[in-house]
């Protein structure tokens, strides 16, 4: 059964030489099914049993083969690969590889990656039963375990060499299960979360626009925190100067209209929609096709019209499965205004934010908020936006636990 327990996890699958190497293709696919991003590395001997092309096609990434290949090392070298991975899984791991791992060697790509790793490392041994039973193999295994490497012990049964005993590569579903167990389940594991962030820009003419002071910092921090919690995150952002959050899909937009289209595109399959963007409420009724010149008729009057209310459009079509969270940016009557928006926009939760206080306002790194639901009010004390985002994601996940049943009861 798919648990999505590896959502957002990066797994480097290392393949060593042995007949079970052909099973690495299946391992790669099943890791992906659990939500993992997979890269692969092979020893020279592994390439005698399965072609790099197979793993390249399945992982959709080049296969890493050589320690001393300047081309691959300059693209993503052994140190970068070790830093990239959350888990290095060597499956199958041959007796020879385990012996070299136990010695702390670093004279080929896969051993060098393991030596450089600070992340979780696991091996799934596969070998002939006599090789498995040898004292030296068991000593090597004990040594690898003693340095914190997990060993997914082999199964018993008929072996490719025709003998019967312990040494077969563990069945693929069991390897995947053990890999999943190395990670705690994130509170939003497998959920799709869409976040809007930043300001929008409404064009006046080709070079001018109406916008606001939103920096996007809080929305980006929420996208990061949701990804950290195991969610598949789509961040739909107006123009900001911020780097793309790690492990979130970023869709860049400019205007409220474009943001609405991008959001509506994403709604199917979404579990949580968090509308943090400071969407412009007005746009020019007509956008001038050319630069407006200052020597027209003295003063200039621009007629404005309302932009779509993205959040309300979403709650109109959302059905019972989508949990919606709004932000109320207020300069006065914070809780009263936030409560009205909660009701009017038919939200499941709103985060009331006092933007008149410059210490916690649009461009600051700090924030403080009150989270309101139809039944509860929770204060999020002043903290940096990253911490506040994590606290908010925790609250959303708690609310989400009872949400399906509550929503069905309400309808
Ligand atoms: N919002 C939206 N689309 C808009 C305006 C706002 O989706 N055109 C969302 C914001 O992302 C936020 C919530 O609605 O989650 C409240 O936004 P806010 O600017 O506080 O309030 P408004 O609804 O714009 O109302 P007002 O300007 O009167 O305070």
Sign of CA dihedral 207, 212, 214, 215: positive
Residue 186 in any domain: the answer is no
Q: Helix %, strand %, coil % for the chain, to 5?
A: 35, 25, 40
Q: Residue 139: which pLDDT band, with cuts at 50, 70 and 90? A: very high
236 lines ligand 1 (CB under 6 A): no
Q: Tell me: do 297 and 277 sit in the same domain.
A: yes
Q: Could you give the 3-state DSSP secondary structure of residue 80?
A: helix
Q: What is the largest CA-CA distance in the chain?
A: 95
The pLDDT tens digits for 150-176 are: 999 999 988 888 888 899 999 999 999
pTM equals 0.81
Count of domains for the chain: 2
Residue 95 in any domain: the answer is yes
Domain end point (choices 111, 146, 181): 181
Question: How far is the centre of ligand 1, averaged over its atoms, from the C-alpha of 308 (Å)?
Answer: 10
Q: Tell me: do 200 and 82 sit in the same domain.
A: no
**Whose CA is closest to atom 21 on ligand 1?**
328
169 DSSP 8-state letter: P
Q: Residue 411: which pLDDT band, with cuts at 50, 70 and 90? A: very low
**410/45: higher pLDDT:** 45
Question: How far is the centre of ligand 1, averaged over its atoms, from the C-alpha of 327 (Å)?
Answer: 7
Residue 5 in any domain: the answer is no
Q: Tell me: do 256 and 175 sit in the same domain.
A: no
Told to judge if 114 belongs to the known catalytic residues of this protein, a careful annotator would answer: no
Q: Tell me: do 177 and 211 sit in the same domain.
A: no
* CATH number of the domain enclosing 326: 3.40.50.10300
Q: Residue 297: which pLDDT band, with cuts at 50, 70 and 90? A: low
**Whose CA is closest to atom 16 on ligand 1?**
328
Domain end point (choices 129, 149, 181): 181
Block residue for tokens 């925790």: 394
Alpha helices of 34-93 — where are they, by DSSP H? 52-59, 70-76, 78-84
Query: Which pLDDT belongs to residue 409?
Result: 45
Cis peptide leading into residue 341 (ω within 30°): no
The pLDDT tens digits for 309-364 are: 999 999 998 877 899 999 998 989 999 999 999 999 999 999 998 888 878 777 78
**CA–CA separation, 171 and 153 (whole Å):** 11
Residue 1 in any domain: the answer is no
Q: Which of 309, 325, 343 to mutate to test the pocket of ligand 1 (most atoms within 8 A of CB)?
A: 309
Contacts of residue 48, defined as CB under 8 A and 6 or more positions apart, other chains included, come to 17
Q: Which atom of ligand 1 is nearest to the CA of 280?
A: 8
Query: Which pLDDT belongs to residue 336?
Result: 96
* CATH number of the domain enclosing 114: 3.40.50.1950
Residue 3 in any domain: the answer is no
Q: Tell me: do 161 and 234 sit in the same domain.
A: no
Question: Do residues 360 and 374 make contact, with C-beta atoms less than 8 angstroms apart?
Answer: no
Question: How far is the centre of ligand 1, averaged over its atoms, from the C-alpha of 190 (Å)?
Answer: 28
Residue 408 has pLDDT above 50, yes or no: no
Q: Tell me: do 282 and 197 sit in the same domain.
A: yes
CA nearest 61: which of 39, 76, 36? 39
Query: Which pLDDT belongs to residue 158?
Result: 86
Average the pLDDT over 55-75 and give the result.
85
Q: Provide the mean pLDDT of the chain.
A: 92
Alpha helices of 60-154 — where are they, by DSSP H? 70-76, 78-84, 95-102, 109-116, 129-133, 135-146
Q: Which of 334, 341, 354 to mutate to test the pocket of ligand 1 (most atoms within 8 A of CB)?
A: 341
Q: Tell me: do 65 and 200 sit in the same domain.
A: no
Q: Tell me: do 166 and 23 sit in the same domain.
A: yes
Q: Tell me: do 165 and 209 sit in the same domain.
A: no
Contacts of residue 411, defined as CB under 8 A and 6 or more positions apart, other chains included, come to 320
Residue 110 in any domain: the answer is yes
Q: Tell me: do 31 and 91 sit in the same domain.
A: yes
Q: Tell me: do 175 and 211 sit in the same domain.
A: no
- The phi and psi torsions of 183 (rounded to 5 degrees) equal -115, 145
Question: Do residues 170 and 125 make contact, with C-beta atoms less than 8 angstroms apart?
Answer: no
Residue 187 in any domain: the answer is no
Residue 346 in any domain: the answer is yes
Q: Tell me: do 14 and 148 sit in the same domain.
A: yes
**CA–CA separation, 382 and 393 (whole Å):** 16
Query: Which pLDDT belongs to residue 321?
Result: 86
Q: Structural domain of residue 353, as residue ranges? A: 192-410
Domain end point (choices 131, 150, 181): 181
283 lines ligand 1 (CB under 6 A): no
The pLDDT tens digits for 372-394 are: 999 999 999 989 999 999 999 99
């Amino acid at each position: 059964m798919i648990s999505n327990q590896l959502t957002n996890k990066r797994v480097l699958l290392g393949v060593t030489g042995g007949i079970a190497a052909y099973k690495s293709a299946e391992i790669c696919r099943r890791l992906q099914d659990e939500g993992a991003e997979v890269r692969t590395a092979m020893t020279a001997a592994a390439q005698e049993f399965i072609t790099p092309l197979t793993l390249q096609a399945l992982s959709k990434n080049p296969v890493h083969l050589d320690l001393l290949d300047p081309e691959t090392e300059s693209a993503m070298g052994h140190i970068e690969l070790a830093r990239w991975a959350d888990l290095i899984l060597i499956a199958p791991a041959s007796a020879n590889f385990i012996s070299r791992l136990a010695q702390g060697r670093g004279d080929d790509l896969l051993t060098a990656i393991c030596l450089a790793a600070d992340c979780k490392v696991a091996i799934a041994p596969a070998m002939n039963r006599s090789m498995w039973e040898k004292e030296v193999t068991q000593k090597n295994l004990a040594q690898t375990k003693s340095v914190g490497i997990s060993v997914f012990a082999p199964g018993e049964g008929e072996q490719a060499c025709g003998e019967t005993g312990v040494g077969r590569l563990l069945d693929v579903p069991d390897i995947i299960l053990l890999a999943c167990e190395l990670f705690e389940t994130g509170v939003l594991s497998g959920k799709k979360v869409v976040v809007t962030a930043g300001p929008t820009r409404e064009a006046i003419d080709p070079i001018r626009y109406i916008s606001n002071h939103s920096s996007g910092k809080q929305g980006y921090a929420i996208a990061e925190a949701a990804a950290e919690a195991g969610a598949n995150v789509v961040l739909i952002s107006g123009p900001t100067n911020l780097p793309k959050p790690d492990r979130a899909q970023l869709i860049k937009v400019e205007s409220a209209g474009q943001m609405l289209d991008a959001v509506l595109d994403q709604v199917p399959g979404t579990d949580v929609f968090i509308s943090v963007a400071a969407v412009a409420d007005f746009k020019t009724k007509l956008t001038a096709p050319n630069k407006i010149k200052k020597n027209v008729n003295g003063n200039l009057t621009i007629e404005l019209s309302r932009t779509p209310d993205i959040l309300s459009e979403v709650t109109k079509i959302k059905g019972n499965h989508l949990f919606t969270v709004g932000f109320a940016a207020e300069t006065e009557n914070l809780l009263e205004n936030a409560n009205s928006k909660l009701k009017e926009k038919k939200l499941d939760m709103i985060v009331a934010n006092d933007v008149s206080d410059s210490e916690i306002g649009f461009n600051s790194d700090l924030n403080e908020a009150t989270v309101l639901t139809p039944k509860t009010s929770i204060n999020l004390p002043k903290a940096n936006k990253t911490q506040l985002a994590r606290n908010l994601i925790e609250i959303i996940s708690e609310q989400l636990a009872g949400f399906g049943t509550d929503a069905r009861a309400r309808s």
